[in-house]
Amino acid sequence: MEEKPIVEIEGVSKTYQAGKVPVQAVKELNLIIRKREFSVLCGPSGSGKTTILNLIGALDTPTRGKIFLEGRDLGELGRGDQARVRRERIGFVFQSYNLIPVMTAYENAEFVLSLQNVDREERFRRVNRVLQEVGLEGLADRRPDELSGGQQQRVAIARAIVSEPAIVLADEPTANVDSATAEGLLDLMEKLNREKGVTFLFSTHDQRVMDRARRLIRLQDGRVIEDEVRP
């Protein structure tokens, strides 16, 4: 029996109002993302990459069409249920890290589990395991300003995966780090995908990320123009 997709996008369009002019960022998009994929949305600025991630992540709502996450229609959920889905089933990695500056690496990774009311002993076990997996063992007590850019992004990845979400959405995750650090982050995410089964969907301009993709989804003007699955 075939596994149910994690994400199903059916006939989705998204229009923004730019002054008096409507801008259609996504146009009648149909897309399926399955478990354990390591997929990349790529295309020029304005092609709809980030908009699609925001729609899947329930950070924005489509003008038309439906988005299903693990079979649930996000458009049918109230704000509270959408927030719960974001908190429990979706991990986010942003190019600007979005860490809480007054919190340590441990506390940043722990934060989402606290929101889920996971008990302290379980939080301790899971956060320390994940920090070790992302190569931050020994750095748990450091705040973001005491970490390099690459280390901060590793904290962001730890925070994204610690709750064992259905999918991790990564928006330009290598944009603010040097080449060597970017390769290290990609090695890490590939390892998490292959060994832990973490599903990743990236948006990127970075050729290094595109080269690692096992599925490359090319966008132009809000539409998919190529969908390449690699071995």
Tens digit of each residue's pLDDT (9 = 90 or more) over 123-138:
999 999 999 999 999 9
Question: pLDDT at position 1, please?
Answer: 57
Q: Whole-angstrom Cα distance, residue 24 to residue 17?
A: 9
Q: What does DSSP assign to residue 93?
A: E
CB burial class (10 A; 0-12, 13-18, 19+) of residue 214? Answer: middle
For residue 92, is it within any domain?
Answer: yes
Residue 149 belongs to what domain range?
Answer: 36-48+79-229
For residue 17, is it within any domain?
Answer: no
Q: Whole-angstrom Cα distance, residue 113 to residue 118?
A: 5
For residue 13, is it within any domain?
Answer: no
Q: What angle do CA 206, 110, 37 make, to 5 degrees?
A: 40
For residue 23, is it within any domain?
Answer: no
Question: pLDDT at position 18, please?
Answer: 81
Would you say 163 and 116 are in contact if contact means Cβ atoms under 8 Å apart?
yes
Give just the sign of the alpha carbon dihedral 49, 52, 58, 62: positive
pTM of the model: 0.93
Q: What CATH number corresponds to the domain at position 102?
A: 3.40.50.300
For residue 115, is it within any domain?
Answer: yes
Q: Whole-angstrom Cα distance, residue 47 to residue 45?
A: 6
> Among 36, 196, 213, 178, which residue's Cα sits nearest to residue 132?
196
For residue 87, is it within any domain?
Answer: yes
Q: Which run of H or of E encompasses 68?
A: strand 64-69
Q: Does residue 2 have a pLDDT over 70?
A: no
Question: pLDDT at position 202, please?
Answer: 97
Counting the structural domains of the chain, the total is: 1
> Among 58, 30, 44, which residue's Cα sits nearest to residue 167?
58
Residue 18 vs residue 158, higher pLDDT: 158
pLDDT tens readout for residues 85-120: 999 999 999 988 999 999 999 999 999 999 999 999
pLDDT tens readout for residues 30-48: 999 999 999 999 999 999 9
What is the SS3 assignment for 186? helix
For residue 159, is it within any domain?
Answer: yes
For residue 63, is it within any domain?
Answer: no
